[in-house]
């Protein structure tokens, strides 16, 4: 059956929260700019925004190349993407252990969640990088991905667990009556329904993951934050550089937030 085109009112409902968020951000941004200009005038600070583009792209021999900030952005996106994959794996495995009949499995899952959620991410990164990293021979990039995945996985596990316990018991009984094993029951019946419920909050966890990825700069990984810190040290342009970096992070999180809003609406709309 051919899907019906979305009506203008439907499109408005989808875009309304996104446009509202953009409007609020614009108002706050203008207020911050006004305050910064007032403060800069009081300190006799000279803005040098014209120097920022050279740290985004540069031209050499007639060809354009990415500069420090874009290179750092790509590293940040790479770390975030790989970490998100392992976050989902850690979260799903932990959630399955939480709802299992194994006392040991439930205990291990609960201990992992409580340990991660009740200690700062910065402390966890230090422990992995300076203590476990040298023992296990982990590279900085691997350590960063592992730290972010373990941290975010503990929160994602609760999302998955909530999705699992909200599946009607009749679905489990139906799978059992069909003679399906537990593995096939979860694979073909339970998990597809659960994923439909948890995709919107899971997208919000991806937003948190991108923001938390800035902390891995303490390991001298050349991500967006590290590149920005080096540029500030070389140019003495703290305001211009950090506001540019904040805008780049904001663009990423806004895209993910808009995707989460659209996904939530799509999943809430019944199929025709």
Q: Does 214 fall in a domain?
A: yes
Q: Does 182 fall in a domain?
A: yes
Average confidence (pLDDT) over 129-146 = 91
Q: What is the pLDDT of residues 178-226, one digit of tens each?
A: 777 777 777 777 777 778 788 878 888 899 999 999 999 888 888 999 9
Q: Are 29 and 215 in contact (CB under 8 A)?
A: no
Q: Does 42 fall in a domain?
A: no
Angstrom CA distances, 152 to 93, 144, 203, 223, 269, stand at 13, 12, 12, 19, 29
Closest to 150 measured CA to CA, from 104, 117, 184: 117
CB atoms within 10 A of CB 260: 19
The terminus-to-terminus CA distance of the chain in angstroms comes to 9
Whole domain around residue 229: which residue ranges? 74-268
The yes-or-no verdict on residue 272 having pLDDT over 60 is no
Based on the structure, what is the number of domains in the chain?
Answer: 1
d(C-alpha 74, C-alpha 182), whole Å: 41
For 237, which DSSP code? -
What is the average pLDDT score of the chain?
Answer: 85
Q: Does 111 fall in a domain?
A: yes
Q: What is the pLDDT of residues 239-259, one digit of tens each?
A: 889 989 999 998 898 888 888
> What token pair was written down for 63?
């060809």
User: With a threshold of 0.85, does the pTM exceed it?
Assistant: no
| Burial of 232 (C-beta count, 10 Å sphere; 0-12/13-18/19+) | middle
Closest to 140 measured CA to CA, from 150, 154, 130, 152: 130
Q: Does 15 fall in a domain?
A: no
Q: Does 20 fall in a domain?
A: no
> What token pair was written down for 166?
């909200």
Q: Does 233 fall in a domain?
A: yes
Q: What is the CATH number of the domain that holds 111?
A: 1.10.3720.10
Q: Does 153 fall in a domain?
A: yes
Q: What is the pLDDT of residue 233?
A: 92
Q: What is the 3-state secondary structure (H, E, C) of 141-182?
A: HHHHHHHHHHHHHHHHHHHHHHHHHCCCHHHHHHHHHCCCCH
């Amino acid at each position: 059956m051919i899907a019906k085109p979305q009506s203008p009112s439907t499109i408005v409902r989808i875009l309304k929260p996104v446009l509202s968020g953009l409007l609020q951000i614009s108002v706050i941004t203008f207020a911050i700019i006004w305050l910064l200009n007032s403060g800069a005038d009081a300190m006799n600070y000279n803005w040098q925004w014209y120097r920022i583009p050279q740290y985004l792209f540069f031209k050499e021999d007639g060809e354009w190349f990415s500069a420090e900030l874009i290179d750092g952005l790509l590293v940040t996106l790479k770390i975030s993407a790989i970490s998100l994959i392992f976050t989902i794996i850690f979260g799903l495995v932990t959630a399955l252990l939480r709802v299992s009949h194994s006392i040991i499995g439930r205990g291990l899952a609960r201990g992992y969640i409580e340990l991660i959620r009740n200690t700062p991410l910065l402390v966890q990164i230090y422990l992995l990088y300076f203590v476990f990293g040298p023992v296990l021979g982990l590279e900085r990039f691997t350590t960063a991905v592992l730290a972010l995945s373990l941290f975010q996985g503990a929160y994602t596990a609760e999302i998955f667990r909530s999705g699992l316990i909200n599946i009607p018991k009749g679905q489990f009984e139906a799978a059992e009556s069909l003679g399906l094993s537990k593995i096939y029951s979860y694979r073909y019946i339970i998990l597809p329904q659960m994923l439909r419920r948890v995709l919107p909050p899971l997208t919000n966890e991806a937003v948190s993951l991108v923001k938390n990825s800035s902390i891995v700069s303490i390991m001298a990984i050349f991500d967006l934050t590290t590149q920005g810190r080096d540029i500030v040290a070389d140019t003495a342009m703290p305001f211009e550089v950090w506001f540019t970096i904040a805008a780049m992070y904001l663009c990423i999180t806004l895209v993910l937030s808009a995707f989460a809003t659209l996904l939530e609406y799509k999943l809430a709309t019944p199929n025709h």
